[in-house]
Amino acid sequence: MPAFTLYGGRGSSNTDRVRLTLAEGGFTDFDLEILDMRNGEQKSPENMKRHPWGKIPSLIFPDGFTLYESRAICTYLARKYSFPLLPPVADLEATALFEQAQSEEMLYFADPAGKISFEKFAKKFIGLPTDEGVVAGAVKALEGFFDVAERMLQGRDYMAGKEFTLVDIYYIPLIQRLFACGYGEMVTGRKAVSAWWARITGRPAIAKLLAADREAMAAAQAAGAKK
């Protein structure tokens, strides 16, 4: 029996955040159940029992323990299975810097990046028009964020300091979405940010998962074109 079941969705940046954490931890003893978000399966009664907000991802252990929200899941898995992705609990300064970096990712990056992802990527698949005003505001906010990140990363290799942590993983899915939506210059146009991006996406386990996802997407697109 697998250690747990992860419920997620294809193309979900929140699901990918957890998958990247598991890949980096070298953990494969789990089942992945893909929900059909286009048909609203995330709002089904079954999923609402796992995630009361009707979203993804969530995970369930055989004993019934259930957890939702991607960052909470990543932190729990890293602690439970001793992934080297969190600072030692006894190191108060490193832990404080990690929590600070996590707050920065959530408050200053994920919100505007998520808006661009929704407006320029998700809406395309559900047949809704893009709100260019929302996009313009989000782009401005992200440019400001990456300007600050450029200054910070000139003095350290990773977002929380000298070591690669969960916080660096948290950025990957939405930055990938920025590239897909035509905003990759925000990353590649800044020397320190670009070097950081190369470091984190060049890690073997992460690079392998990202490559597999690209191949799967290309195959799906090719299959769709034949219909």
Both 74 and 119 in one domain: the answer is no
Both 127 and 176 in one domain: the answer is yes
CA–chain centroid gap for 171, Å, is 6
- C-alpha 85/C-alpha 25 separation (Å) is 8
Q: Confirm whether 96 is domain-assigned.
A: yes
Both 114 and 203 in one domain: the answer is yes
Both 98 and 65 in one domain: the answer is no
Both 108 and 203 in one domain: the answer is yes
- C-alpha 67/C-alpha 77 separation (Å) is 10
Q: Which residues pair with 86 in a beta bridge?
A: none
Q: Confirm whether 214 is domain-assigned.
A: no
State the CATH number of the domain containing residue 65: 3.40.30.10
| 3-class DSSP assignment, residue 49 | helix
CB 86 within 8 A of CB 33: no
Both 133 and 34 in one domain: the answer is no
CB 20 within 8 A of CB 166: no
pLDDT mean over 125-150: 94
Both 136 and 183 in one domain: the answer is yes
Structure tokens at 160: 């929380």
- Residue 117 confidence (pLDDT): 94
| 3-class DSSP assignment, residue 1 | coil
Report residue 59: phi and psi, to 5°: -140, 150
**pLDDT tens, position by position, 47-90:** 999 999 999 999 999 999 999 999 999 999 999 999 999 999 99
Both 28 and 107 in one domain: the answer is no
- Residue 63 confidence (pLDDT): 97
pLDDT mean over 184-201: 98
How many residues can be counted in the chain?
Answer: 227
Q: Confirm whether 60 is domain-assigned.
A: yes
Q: Which domain holds residue 8?
A: 4-80
Both 57 and 105 in one domain: the answer is no
Average pLDDT score over the chain: 94
- Residue 214 confidence (pLDDT): 87
**pLDDT tens, position by position, 10-40:** 889 999 999 999 999 999 999 999 999 888 9
pLDDT mean over 130-157: 96
State the CATH number of the domain containing residue 150: 1.20.1050.10
Question: For the chain, what is the radius of gyration of the CA atoms?
Answer: 18
Of the three residues 39, 54, 80, the one that is the final residue of a domain is 80
Q: How many folded domains does the chain comprise?
A: 2
pLDDT band at 125 (very low <50, low <70, confident <90, very high): confident
- Residue 224 confidence (pLDDT): 60
Given a cut of 70, whether residue 225 has pLDDT beyond it is: no
Checking 203-206 for CB contacts under 8 A at 24+ apart, the result is 203/24, 203/164, 205/23, 205/24, 205/26, 206/20, 206/23, 206/24, 206/169, 206/172
Q: Confirm whether 129 is domain-assigned.
A: yes
